[in-house]
Chains A and B, each alone.
Chain A
Amino acid sequence: MVVVYNIYIFDRHCECIFYSEWNRINSPLAAAASVEGVHGNKELRGNQVLTADNLSSPRSSFDQQAPLVWPTTATSTAHRIASESPRNVAMEEEAKLVYGVVFSTRNIINKLSSKDSPQGGNPGGFMSLATNTYRLHYYEAPTGVKFVLNTDTATTSMQPVLEMIYRNIYVEYVVKNPLFRINPKKTVPIENDFFRAVLNNYIREISSPLSAS
């Protein structure tokens, strides 16, 4: 059984465009949600409606809970414009640290495997990094979009899972969305409810005790 803690998606401008978490203990989002109160609740309910359609039977109480996500929501867009973006500083700082770790690791791996190229990318094939509390899995798409997934230490390879998330979820629901802008001047976070719901279901599926892996 795979325990998935959280996922980060970074665009090629090094900015975090999506974050979601499942079984996390110390969350920068949970703290913000309790402060925001009403807003946070609305978001949770919205997500539940979406996932309920796809889940044929309620399997466990675990499934009932929608994950915490960042950026907060599509519904919050209006709210954001009105009050000059409620930023979650703890979350943003953490995303920067995570980016720093994967970026530097990828670079030293490229150096060590003598496949360093000025174009960047991941020719050295950096796959995962383990500490004794979690394992960080890394996948870089050819376009430079980076996926970072944290799981428990026992899970050794999540490369197929990350590739699947990129190919069948990110490309399908984010890139093929007609409103998606290929090269925006400013980083645009993913505020797509379908993407969230499908990703959430997929993660729930692989981390269910009944799944094969």
Chain B
Amino acid sequence: MIHSVFIINRSGGLTYNKNYTQQVAQLTSNEALIFAGTFHGIHALASRISPALKGSAARDLGIQTIDTKGFRLHCFQTPTGIKFIAVADLMHASLADVLSKAYRLYCDYALKNPFYNLEMPIRSDMFDAMLLELVQEN
């Protein structure tokens, strides 16, 4: 079950945020922005502190999952630097495929909208509906 979805643009701003269940905290818009900025920072730092590998040998060195007692947070970073984050229960080992489907929806319903400004919050009913459908499938 997916509790919530966040989309963070490449400069660390929050462009999309939706809760699907009541099981995680309902962040206020200010808290959600803080979350996006903080996550953007630790994602970048996590690759700097790697004890195993540094440099360009491996792509996408940032955070993939964060495990906690109550939920698991999954992150998928696109080649253009947009981060798709899903907070889900502990049943899913990986949500990379679901998040890449969300990326496809983003391309179709947000980017192809001629009135959409890049890096700005996504306000599209079609995107909301399609994402909801995707979340409910999982």
Contacts and interface: CB of A to CB of B under 8 A. Distances in A.
Interface of A: 5-6, 21, 24-26, 94, 97-98, 100-101, 104-105, 107-109, 111-114, 124-134, 136, 150, 152, 156
B81 interface: no
Contacts of A24: 51-52
B45 A101 contact: yes
Contacts of B64: 130-132
**Is chain A's interface secondary structure helix, strand, loop, or mixed overall?**
mixed
B68 A113 contact: yes
Given A108-B38, A111-B31, A114-B25, A128 B66 contact: yes
A138 to B, nearest CB: 10
Contacts, number: 103
B82 to A, nearest CB: 18
A101 B49 contact: yes
Contacts of B47: 131
A112 B26 CA distance: 8
Contacts of A112: 24-25, 27, 35, 71, 73, 87
B34 to A, nearest CB: 8
A113 B46 contact: no
A207 B67 CA distance: 22
Contacts of B79: none
Contact of A124 (B38, B39, B54, B68): B68
B10 interface: no
B58 A129 contact: no
A129 B52 contact: no
Among B48, B52, B61, B71: residue with most chain A CB under 10 A: B52
B31 A113 contact: no
B42 interface: yes
B66 A5 contact: no
B24 A107 contact: no
B121 interface: no
Contact of A152 (B34, B42, B52, B66): B52
A97 B87 CA distance: 25
B27 A5 contact: no
A113 B27 CA distance: 10
Given A104-B42, A129-B63, A26 B54 contact: yes
